[in-house]
Amino acid sequence: MSEHSAEGGSVTPSNEEWITAAEAAEMLGLTDNTLRAYRAPSKMRSPPFVRRVGRVYYKRSDVEAFLSSRKED
């Protein structure tokens, strides 16, 4: 997660874009605090995430898939 894309997010060598928890919350239409609560082990209602040096990151594709899975037709 050391390289950065033109959009400001980080990318891995495989070009997977990683976004911050704040960016993920914005995409999901949640506050940072709500997304943090969703990550709680008792809830686990957030997209998959990783912790690196005290910060939380999400793959943009996981957040998009999470949103798609919750769309109502």
Q: How many separate domains does the chain show?
A: 1
What range defines the domain where residue 43 resides? Answer: 3-67
Residue 73 lies in a domain: no
Q: Is residue 43 part of a domain?
A: yes
Residue 37 lies in a domain: yes
pLDDT tens over the chain, length 73 residues = 444 334 445 544 467 899 999 999 999 999 999 999 999 988 778 899 999 999 999 999 999 999 998 876 5
Distance CA 41, CA 31 (A): 18
What predicted TM-score, i.e. pTM, was given to this entire model? 0.74
The answer as to whether 24 is a domain residue is yes
Q: In what order do the strands lie in the sheet with 55-59?
A: 3-4, 10-11, 17-20, 55-59, 50-52
- Cβ–Cβ under 8 Å, residues 30 and 38: yes
CATH code, 31: 1.10.1660
